[in-house]
Structure 1
Amino acid sequence: MTASWPVPINFPDVPAWIGREFAIDVAQRRLFPWIAVSFGLGIVLFFQAEEPALWAPLVCFVLSLMAAWFARRSLPALALLIGLAALSAGFAAGVVRTRSVAGPVLTRITIAAVSGFVETVEDRGQDRRILLRLVSLQGMAASDLPKFVRVNARKGEGLAPGQFIEAKARLLPPPQPAWPGGYDFARDARFREVGAVGSLLGAPKIIAPPQGTPWFLAVTAGIDAARNALTQRIASAIGGPAGGVSAALVTGKRGLIGEPTNDVLRAAGIYHIVSISGLHMVLAAGTFFWLIRAFLALFPIVALRWPVKKIAAVAAMFGATAYGLFTGSDVATERSLIMTLVMFGAVLADRPALSIRNLSVSALLVLAREPEALLGPSFQMSFGAVAALTAFAPLLTLKPSQGQPVTALGRALHWSFHQIWGLFATTLIASLATAPFSAYHFQTINPYGLIGNALALPLVSVVVMPAAVLGVLTYPFGLDRPIWQVMGLAVNQVLDVSAWVGSFSGATMVMPALSILAFGFLSAALLILTVPASSFRWLAVLPIGAGLATAAPIRYDVFIDREAAGAAIRDASGTLTVVGKPSAFVTEQWLRADGDGRNADDGGLRRQARCDRSGCVVEGPEQRSIAFVQDVSAFEEDCRRAVVILTRLKAPTRCEAGLVLDRDALASRGATVLRFRDRDTIEVRSVRKGSEVIALRRASTDDAAATILPNRPMEKRPVPEQDLPDEEISSDERD
């Protein structure tokens, strides 16, 4: 017997396989969704650019379309060129949107008299949050005025939308992230044209406006006043925590929900029910659709001669739009409304309502109007969940068995099993699809969210939202109180379920912040899983593997806020120790980024710091001393022994520490994190300057020594408590 070597290996014909699968996607019309993906990629590129010109993406857009016209006979080339055109359009949309909202922003803390129109008022229990359209700010020219400011008023009784007020206010610039990669309130404020935040000092004075109230302000003020009245009506009819949650479900006003209730809902993984988004919009529009269709079906002459389904779809579109306007037209609400209108529009065109193509149209409309939405968790989680549910819809329903039950009990059990399976599969798919976004933005995972949603959502779908629609319809007649009370009973059950699920051990798992690279891979995996109809879906295993391989988080050794009011330093035990007086919000942001589940008021956060009136010293791993200086008297000693100096003061000229982050350094960097790469180098990452690697030279004392700073006079100023507006302390924006 003879053997030939090498043995021939038959490799699969990859080009032929690609051609077959590409033809399947073309037949299933799955190329169109990639236009929305390319549009979004263009937006991502825009946010990486520095002051781009508008003409550049427009020229690229036009050239791509021209090239696509000449290459129209080649489908692959045509698809690539249309994708490039969509990418250019997304980039241009970012430029246009940024320029359209550009306006003055406060640059320093200011205490001055202000006057303006009250746009919205939200009752938050002990105080009121006000959106004020500025007319004047003492000492500031009209051209430098921010368009809106958001302030809290502790003495805001009697304030109502549309009023013109004068008051003394303490205003601050919108705060930047607490750490590089954290929640960016300043970016969100810029796109909402909010140029300052703060609080009113004393009671505001309601006066007549210098000019008449603008008509658009009168309309929005009237809507907000109606929202506030209905919020109080619902809360008073139900009472307790359920009253605040029920009011938020109907009007979008979440100020009456206490933080303990928020924590309970988050632990159970169902906090999304109190944000007017896709779930509420679909349930509200679906209720309108079902009611109108059922009513028209009662009249045979109408049902047989008129397109009842399309009439009900139009009524649902009007009802959903009215619901969106009444609940404040928040960003998440507007996105959900656009998705809902596209779905019912597909019904009018005799197309499937729920499809990847319709979802892509919705995404394009949303991103063209608000490109910044792509960066937020609300857009990512809502569209990610819907895309996954649409793509894996066959898994939501079981195939009918050959032998159907004969008895009524058997049929009831069969129906119940199918409903339970559908609810379980829906919740599981949505949870898996949104897990990367939750881990990246919030550093938390709720492993029992599957149980919480499975138990709570049936109550919300069957009782709470239909009662909300019926309550709003009967509210003008004064017959709504019993309906709100029924709604309150169901919401109480939801809160009880949430408390039970939240009591499980490990209900909320805090994990270190996911790296941007891993987040990008996992996001790409979700797109590859959901967009193609062909076997291209199996290629998702590659970015999934890459995402898991790069998911190991980077844990920073030092967090310091933008004003050096406080810091979190990794001690010898490997956990963070807090020094100074950072706010509770900032402290918890640092802890979550490190995967630390402790709260800001945990007594163990400061035990490893040696502090006196002059500052604090924390001994980190490998006997590195990190000093937090609050008084100039500490510089002489700390500069000799510390590897890193953190201070709100100006550092002296001959400080021998390896790295000095003082007032001037932080003013140029913003919030900063440090990571010791080895004994001689340290990575410095900041909000404004990005990532830097600094080499630490060794001094004769065998400590690290820094580059000598310019000669500056020393000053004596203790570190005050961190200056933060209440907006940053609140978690509403992040949820």
Structure 2
Amino acid sequence: MAQASARAKGATFAGLARPRSPSAMVEAAKRWFAGGLAEESEQRRLFPWLAVAFGLGILVCFTATNGEPSLAAPLLVALALSAAVPFLGSRPVALALVLGLAASFLGFSAAVLRLRIVAAPVLARTTIAPLTGLVEALDEREVGARLIVLVESFGTLTPDRRPTRVRVSYKKALSLKPGDYISAMARLLPPPEAARPGGYDFARDAYFRGIGAVGSLVGKIEVKPPPRPLPWQVSLAAAVDDARNALTRRITDANGGQAGAVAAALVTGKRGLINAETNDVLRAAGIYHVVSISGLHMVLAAGVVFWLVRALLALVPGLALIWPIKKIAAGFAMVGVTAYCVFSGWDIAAERSLIMTLVMLGAILVDRPALSMRNLALAALIALAREPDGLLGPSFQMSFGAVAGLIACAGTLNRWMPPREGASLLARAWRFLAVAVLGTLATTMVAQIATAPFATYHFQTVQPFGIVGNALTLPLVSLAVMPAAVLGILAYPFALDQPVWWAMGLAVRGMLTISGWISGFGHATLVVPAYGSTALCLLALALLLLTLPVSGLRWIGLAPAALGIALAATPPRYDLYIDREGGGAALRDPDGRLAILGNPPAFVLEQWLKADGDSRKAGAVSVSTKGRCDAVGCTAGTETRRIVALVKDKRAFTEDCERASIIIARRDAPKGCRAGLIVDRAFLAERGATAVRFGPDGPVATSARSPNVRPPWRRVMAEASPVPSTPAETAKLQDPEIDEGDPLPDTPSDRPQ
């Protein structure tokens, strides 16, 4: 039958390739397409497209709606479409379309429901006031700590206008722990939005995490008894986080240095003690995903538990013949990996990986193939139903993209390395080694290709030696690091874990040594220009078409892949970037590189440089060669004979409004200003960070926000700011040395799998 199917496909392709009339070619194409759909239906490969349709509904809700979408409307439409399903049994195409539409409206409904569940006030402007609340989570840093505080009170803000949670940092050493009820003076500001059009929007992620402000604690922190008994969920979360911090300190004490910090991150998910240099080394080697609790950790943890339980049960004579030890081991692995996810902080990436792992292990319990596209689709549906906003981030996209690529290529990889019966022991050993090495290289390459569109879109970096880094370090992680982590956790309650952590630290040191060697290669990290969402959508569509079908229909994916690559390879480059606060800009100099105008924040400037494909750090960027600055502002000429003016003092408006083509200012420009483009306080409040391209017909501006479009995470509710009531508080408001507590987000540079 397989040979007949192959002959039919060959005949179809031959028919398409043979010179024929246009109508005959259309008919042949129709037959080929219908045959492909029939094969997809026969192989039950249409189900994964329901997850795609579900995600499409989420995407429409988050990107296309403006205002408060109704929850009842999409649910009613989905219900009506579902009611029509029993009547479409004889019309498979109509049935597939109706099911897809129903899934899309259900995805839209899930997104609306998520928006309503997480809705909470967001701070309007920078404010210093007394803060009281409960420390929900604490991440220790090399200096100080970062806290998530469940707010009880903040200044004079009423509960309906007060952020529910805030993220604050404290630079001094202090013996705080999760569960403490604290009181301190805090400097808070709204979660920062994207630094450039199309850039990472921390305000969106903070909104879905329930964080309404970020900042720092100022002065003394008092620990007080809570005013009321804490809910059990809060107490449990605080206790788990406290236990994670305690184990983190125990692992770092057993090893010391960055090996201890990385080993602790592998076990507890606490990455605050890893310094910037180590992070850069791991990224350059392409293995930073190892320290982000995600798919690799979940699979290895489940695999270690599964193997240990199955091996122990198999040691009992006759037990393997009576009991289903494989299913028992899968059940223990499900419990173990769930406990590991809870202990590691139940991070979003870890949660999605847990769902995927549980679905795979559950398939073993019901005698189904563990690794299949249907299971992956089911895991995606569960993950998106729980957290629809995850679809917008790199973690979900890269996790499921990598696994989809691996499942799609699994058959090909197995055909390349078929088992050989009757071989000698030495031959089997050599084959096992070859399969392990080639399998690691092949799977790493597949995963990197599948995740490349999302990695380059979100991070603008490529690690060309990542395949070498993964090939050399993943065996060490799989065979030494993660088994030691499981054994260490089992020995921890008996206080017998220190030798295990020490041994784990040796393996981690080896991993860091390999990473340092690879990071020393020339061009270990390449920065590529940022491309737009259109190219990303085309590349994502290509990945879906190339991985989900089993028939020849998958080759349709080559068309969006080619178009997406063409768009990504020729991204639009801006000539001027303007800070969202209007205090600084970056202008393209005659040498083609960006140069500083004014005083843009270092973090923001580096985001502009990466988007431009420039690997320089902020400190290496010079002032524009065509710029001149004085006490009231800066001006600079452009290659198109335009003048860009950055206004620091209102006295500069009089002259700049007459001669400049572009005005940039923190304050509102006066009425009657004659500049062609005025990017002042009102403009930035409406549109956010802005980039400009100098066209033949004048400057063309693109902003992070569209005017009059305000997604839920940008609807600021906390308009009232407390007024300091004492001279001391007034002095603190005027103190320029107050630390903002790293209000800008950490660059999301992990590569979850």
TM-fit CA distance, 1:732: 5.2
TM-fit CA distance, 1:650: 2.6
Tell me: CA distance 1:402–1:372, structure 2 relative to 1, closer, same or farther (3 Å): closer
- The reply on whether 1:599 has 2:617 as its aligned counterpart is yes
TM-fit CA distance, 1:680: 3.2
After superposition, residues 691-702 of structure 1 pair within 5 angstroms as: none
Q: Deviations over 1:492-549 (max 9, x none)?
A: 1111111111111111111111121111111000000111111111111111121123
2:44 to 29, 46, 58: 29
Moved more, 61-70 or 529-538: 61-70
The aligned residue for residue 519 of structure 1 is 536
Moved more, 602-611 or 107-116: 602-611
- The reply on whether 1:494 has 2:492 as its aligned counterpart is no
After superposition, residues 51-90 of structure 1 pair within 5 angstroms as: 51-90=68-107
- The reply on whether 1:273 has 2:290 as its aligned counterpart is yes
- Structure 1 gaps, min length 5: 1-5, 692-717
- The reply on whether 1:726 has 2:730 as its aligned counterpart is no
C-alpha contact (below 8 Å) 2:202/2:745 kept by paired residues: no
The aligned residue for residue 55 of structure 2 is 40
Read off the aligned partner of 1:284 and give its amino acid letter: A
The CA distance in 2 between the partners of 1:461 and 1:402, in whole Å, is 23
2:663 to 640, 645, 654: 645
Read off the aligned partner of 2:452 and give its amino acid letter: A
TM-fit CA distance, 1:221: 1.2
Provide the TM-score with structure 1 as the length reference: 0.92
The CA distance in 2 between the partners of 1:69 and 1:401, in whole Å, is 44
C-alpha contact (below 8 Å) 2:193/2:201 kept by paired residues: yes
The aligned residue for residue 677 of structure 2 is 659
C-alpha contact (below 8 Å) 1:342/1:358 kept by paired residues: yes
2:179 to 157, 162, 167: 162
SS at match of 2:700: strand
Moved more, 643-652 or 408-417: 408-417
The CA distance in 2 between the partners of 1:731 and 1:724, in whole Å, is 17
- The reply on whether 1:289 has 2:306 as its aligned counterpart is yes
SS at match of 1:550: helix
- The reply on whether 1:110 has 2:110 as its aligned counterpart is no
TM-fit CA distance, 1:636: 3.1
The CA distance in 2 between the partners of 1:26 and 1:724, in whole Å, is 57
After superposition, residues 486-635 of structure 1 pair within 5 angstroms as: 486-551=503-568, 552-604=570-622, 606-635=624-653
Tell me: CA distance 1:627–1:53, structure 2 relative to 1, closer, same or farther (3 Å): same
1:199 to 203, 213, 216: 216
Q: Deviations over 1:411-470 (max 9, x none)?
A: 433322121111111001000000000111111111111111111111111111000000
C-alpha contact (below 8 Å) 1:572/1:623 kept by paired residues: no
The CA distance in 2 between the partners of 1:436 and 1:399, in whole Å, is 27
Moved more, 480-489 or 252-261: 480-489
Q: Deviations over 1:316-339 (max 9, x none)?
A: 000000000000101111111111
TM-fit CA distance, 1:7: 8.4
C-alpha contact (below 8 Å) 1:584/1:729 kept by paired residues: no
The CA distance in 2 between the partners of 1:144 and 1:269, in whole Å, is 43
Q: Deviations over 1:574-622 (max 9, x none)?
A: 2211222222221111111111111111143555532222222222222
C-alpha contact (below 8 Å) 2:663/2:675 kept by paired residues: yes
The CA distance in 2 between the partners of 1:182 and 1:400, in whole Å, is 43
TM-fit CA distance, 1:645: 1.0
2:409 to 375, 392, 400: 392
The CA distance in 2 between the partners of 1:402 and 1:654, in whole Å, is 80
The aligned residue for residue 726 of structure 2 is none
The aligned residue for residue 204 of structure 2 is 187
Read off the aligned partner of 2:143 and give its amino acid letter: Q
C-alpha contact (below 8 Å) 1:173/1:195 kept by paired residues: yes
TM-fit CA distance, 1:681: 5.0
Q: Deviations over 1:606-665 (max 9, x none)?
A: 555322222222222222221112123333333333211111123233433221111122
Q: Deviations over 1:165-205 (max 9, x none)?
A: 11110011111111121111111111111111110001210
The CA distance in 2 between the partners of 1:721 and 1:396, in whole Å, is 59
C-alpha contact (below 8 Å) 2:686/2:708 kept by paired residues: no
SS at match of 2:640: helix
C-alpha contact (below 8 Å) 1:42/1:87 kept by paired residues: yes
Read off the aligned partner of 1:220 and give its amino acid letter: A
Moved more, 194-203 or 288-297: 194-203
The aligned residue for residue 421 of structure 1 is 438
Q: Deviations over 1:126-164 (max 9, x none)?
A: 111001111111211122222111100123511111111
SS at match of 1:59: helix
Read off the aligned partner of 2:41 and give its amino acid letter: V
C-alpha contact (below 8 Å) 1:405/1:411 kept by paired residues: no
2:280 to 260, 263, 278: 263
The CA distance in 2 between the partners of 1:721 and 1:652, in whole Å, is 32
Read off the aligned partner of 2:156 and give its amino acid letter: G
After superposition, residues 95-244 of structure 1 pair within 5 angstroms as: 95-155=112-172, 157-244=174-261
The CA distance in 2 between the partners of 1:523 and 1:7, in whole Å, is 34
Read off the aligned partner of 2:693 and give its amino acid letter: R
TM-fit CA distance, 1:408: 4.7
C-alpha contact (below 8 Å) 1:68/1:77 kept by paired residues: no
The CA distance in 2 between the partners of 1:73 and 1:328, in whole Å, is 49
1:323 to 326, 340, 343: 340
- The reply on whether 1:687 has 2:702 as its aligned counterpart is no
Q: Which has the higher contact order (CA 8 A, sep 6+)?
A: 2
- The reply on whether 1:19 has 2:34 as its aligned counterpart is yes
Tell me: CA distance 1:330–1:211, structure 2 relative to 1, closer, same or farther (3 Å): same
Moved more, 575-584 or 385-394: 575-584
SS at match of 1:228: helix
C-alpha contact (below 8 Å) 2:288/2:750 kept by paired residues: no
TM-fit CA distance, 1:247: 0.4
SS at match of 2:617: coil
Tell me: CA distance 1:453–1:722, structure 2 relative to 1, closer, same or farther (3 Å): farther
C-alpha contact (below 8 Å) 1:155/1:204 kept by paired residues: no
- The reply on whether 1:301 has 2:318 as its aligned counterpart is yes
SS at match of 1:13: helix
The CA distance in 1 between the partners of 2:429 and 2:313, in whole Å, is 29
Provide the TM-score with structure 2 as the length reference: 0.90
The CA distance in 1 between the partners of 2:590 and 2:423, in whole Å, is 70
Tell me: CA distance 1:90–1:7, structure 2 relative to 1, closer, same or farther (3 Å): closer
Q: RMSD over aligned Cα, in angstroms? A: 2.1
The CA distance in 2 between the partners of 1:398 and 1:379, in whole Å, is 30
Read off the aligned partner of 1:29 and give its amino acid letter: R
2:65 to 42, 49, 55: 49
Instruction: State percent identity of aligned pairs.
Output: 52
How many residue pairs match? The answer is 703
The CA distance in 2 between the partners of 1:687 and 1:432, in whole Å, is 31
Read off the aligned partner of 1:27 and give its amino acid letter: E
- Structure 2 gaps, min length 5: 1-18, 710-733
C-alpha contact (below 8 Å) 1:170/1:200 kept by paired residues: yes
After superposition, residues 451-462 of structure 1 pair within 5 angstroms as: 451-462=468-479
C-alpha contact (below 8 Å) 1:398/1:418 kept by paired residues: no
SS at match of 1:230: helix
TM-fit CA distance, 1:403: 7.4
C-alpha contact (below 8 Å) 2:289/2:750 kept by paired residues: no
